[in-house]
Chains A and B, each alone.
Chain A
């Protein structure tokens, strides 16, 4: 027990001594330490800045993507991500999706928990002398909200009877409430008349604020029964159909939808689908490809500069070992073991590197903040990035400091004491 305690105290005091010596040497040779760590500072700064920006992008992207239902398949003529003009023209020339497809899905998609058509157009919405131009007008049914499209803030959503009777009822997005009824609460809009694309509608409800999706304002819209939409606002548009399911049913649902749609649209077995099933996941996939490439660049740049920085540290530690040969001799004479000397120099190189890493991290976060201020990009600094920046630099110091430290530990005490 006593021996163990002594050993622990010895290890602890050697480590704290090592850190103390390292710091004293740092202060003693400020300019040199600064130059030594420059490589590490720049490397860590670059990596941290890029990572912070990516993480910022991630955070804003995730909050945006969540406005699309996670468990929703969007059936459409167009795929969300089109590779090339030919593919786009091919999609353009497809048959429109219409009521036939909608009704077939409603009849046969057993895995669906909600099915909502989405007919869309843009047009002005006015009330008295107030006008909001180019509003997204969505024609849908009572199940629309269940496909992950927000929730009611005031009043009610469209009911089945609104759809069945093609009523002129409308649900307003949050921004429309703000702009058409300035100063009023959401309730203040209920029962009021607004004119959508020249047709009068009665407000029955409002939707809570949803924010942006990739620059698209998700609150600047109005929602009307799709039957009314097709009758009054344009019947010749292709429908999109949002089909929701429990997450575990999604693969089955997709298979089901493919079968239903191919049959209804009479796609010959040797032809490809003439429709697209879009999912939130596709956004994520494309997004991850983009940020993955960015990460790759960050890691590449970071590695190169860290190696350069590490070589700088190795060089300066070799100089330091030579300069302090007599000190090493003295320490050995006073009872320092080889591994004590090794530890001391390892601590020194990793403390120097970690300080460089800390400075680099601070600068990197500064750069990221600057980018966030000057561009629409967001930046977020997670504690893990900071810990990683500092820890990684310390590791580089440890790695590149090990050869000089080994040389120091191997010195013969008599030779070292005689060294001029």
Chain B
């Protein structure tokens, strides 16, 4: 277990809203090994995004511990967290989150800008990343000149360009029609087979069922953790992963 890529133990994240405490995450523990493809499922408001933000080092937990790559993320300074996000994590968002005025290429170069990679190397690597998602002929288009599926592929290229240890995708198909969504999932499948570690938040049991493993959250707690096909169809009872 010690060489797990992600190790969370008793992770909690509370929000204070109008004097009341919202337990968005309430004692979550699990480990994810390198090369795994894990779906996070659960109803709306069950804490999926909250968990992703914590694993993505965008947010800090109220309590509990989180080790990424064997290193404790707890107590890292803001700059260190930024550097960690830059090097270790690739984000894919439901709403793509591309910079509207930048071309696809410039969007993909962005993580490398914050890493201090030279202009030429940046360009080469961004072009390669865009080619890997099949967008060689759309590199100089701006987001509003691209279809939804193409935008999401730009976002995936941007997530991959820095060769992170971990790919975090929060409902990456939520804004796409089902056939385009299928395209994106096939892309993830492909990345998984090439050894990437992927955490995928999804509403759709159909997608979760295709993942080798899924974790189900309810009210901020893990209520299921096991093979995707099982957890996806599960509603309440807890499945204990062997």
Which residues of A are interface residues toward B (Cβ below 8 A)? 6-11, 13-14, 17, 24-25, 28, 326-327, 329-340, 413-414, 417
What residues on B are CB-neighbors of A28 within 8 Å?
101
Among A11, A329, A336, find the residue whose CB has the most chain B CB atoms closer than 10 A: A336
Q: How far is the CA of A417 from the CA of B98 in the complex (A)?
A: 11
Segment of B79-87, B129-137, B190-198, B227-235 in the binding face: B79-87
List the 7 shortest-distance A-B pairs measured between CB atoms, nearest first.
A335-B86, A10-B116, A335-B114, A337-B82, A9-B116, A6-B116, A334-B111
Q: Does B180 touch A at the CB level, under 8 Å?
A: no
A157 to chain B, nearest CB (A): 71
Question: Given A333-B91, A335-B82, A414-B53, are A17 and B97 neighbors across the interface (CB < 8 Å)?
Answer: no
Question: Given A7-B116, A10-B116, A414-B58, are A333 and B101 neighbors across the interface (CB < 8 Å)?
Answer: no
Q: Of residues 131 to 170 in B, which have CB atoms within 8 Å of A's CB atoms?
A: 158, 162
Of A8, A11, A334, the contact of B158 (CB 8 Å cutoff): A334
Question: Given A338-B79, A417-B97, are A331 and B116 neighbors across the interface (CB < 8 Å)?
Answer: no
Residue of B nearest to A413 (CB): B58
Residue of A nearest to B118 (CB): A9
Which residues of B are interface residues toward A (Cβ below 8 A)? 53, 56, 58-59, 78-79, 82-83, 85-87, 91, 93, 97-99, 101-102, 110-111, 113-119, 122, 158, 162
Residue of A nearest to B87 (CB): A335
What residues on A are CB-neighbors of B56 within 8 Å?
333
Q: Are A17 and B113 in contact (CB under 8 A)?
A: yes
Of A11, A17, A335, the contact of B115 (CB 8 Å cutoff): A335
Q: Are B99 and A14 in contact (CB under 8 A)?
A: no
Interchain Cβ contacts under 8 Å between A and B, 20 examples = A6-B116, A9-B117, A10-B116, A14-B114, A24-B101, A24-B102, A326-B97, A333-B58, A333-B91, A334-B110, A334-B114, A335-B82, A335-B111, A335-B162, A336-B82, A337-B78, A413-B59, A414-B53, A417-B58, A417-B97
Q: Are A336 and B114 in contact (CB under 8 A)?
A: yes
Q: How far is the CA of A331 from the CA of B111 in the complex (A)?
A: 8
What residues on B are CB-neighbors of A340 within 8 Å?
82, 114
Q: How far is the CA of A335 from the CA of B56 in the complex (A)?
A: 11
What residues on A are CB-neighbors of B91 within 8 Å?
333-334
What residues on B are CB-neighbors of A10 within 8 Å?
114-116
Q: Are B101 and A417 in contact (CB under 8 A)?
A: no
Q: How far is the CA of A14 from the CA of B56 in the complex (A)?
A: 23
What residues on A are CB-neighbors of B110 within 8 Å?
331, 334
What residues on B are CB-neighbors of A13 within 8 Å?
113, 116-119, 122
Residue of B nearest to A3 (CB): B116
Question: Given A9-B117, A340-B114, are A334 and B85 neighbors across the interface (CB < 8 Å)?
Answer: yes
A60 to chain B, nearest CB (A): 50
Extra contacts besides A13-B116, A335-B111 (14): CB < 8 Å: A24-B102, A329-B97, A330-B97, A332-B82, A334-B110, A335-B82, A335-B83, A335-B115, A335-B162, A336-B114, A337-B79, A340-B114, A413-B58, A414-B53
Q: Are B59 and A414 in contact (CB under 8 A)?
A: yes
Interface residue SS majority, chain A: helix
Q: How far is the CA of A6 from the CA of B158 in the complex (A)?
A: 21
B166 to chain A, nearest CB (A): 13
Q: Are A327 and B99 in contact (CB under 8 A)?
A: yes
B68 to chain A, nearest CB (A): 14
Q: How far is the CA of A14 from the CA of B85 in the complex (A)?
A: 17
Q: How far is the CA of A10 from the CA of B82 in the complex (A)?
A: 14
What residues on A are CB-neighbors of B59 within 8 Å?
413-414
B125 to chain A, nearest CB (A): 14
A389 to chain B, nearest CB (A): 29
Residue of B nearest to A10 (CB): B116
Residue of A nearest to B80 (CB): A337
Residue of A nearest to B91 (CB): A333
Residue of B nearest to A333 (CB): B91
What residues on A are CB-neighbors of B83 within 8 Å?
335, 337
A333 to chain B, nearest CB (A): 5
What residues on B are CB-neighbors of A332 within 8 Å?
58, 82, 85
Residue of B nearest to A6 (CB): B116
Q: How far is the CA of A330 from the CA of B95 in the complex (A)?
A: 11
Residue of B nearest to A418 (CB): B49
Q: How far is the CA of A59 from the CA of B162 in the complex (A)?
A: 60
Of B78, B79, B101, the contact of A25 (CB 8 Å cutoff): B101
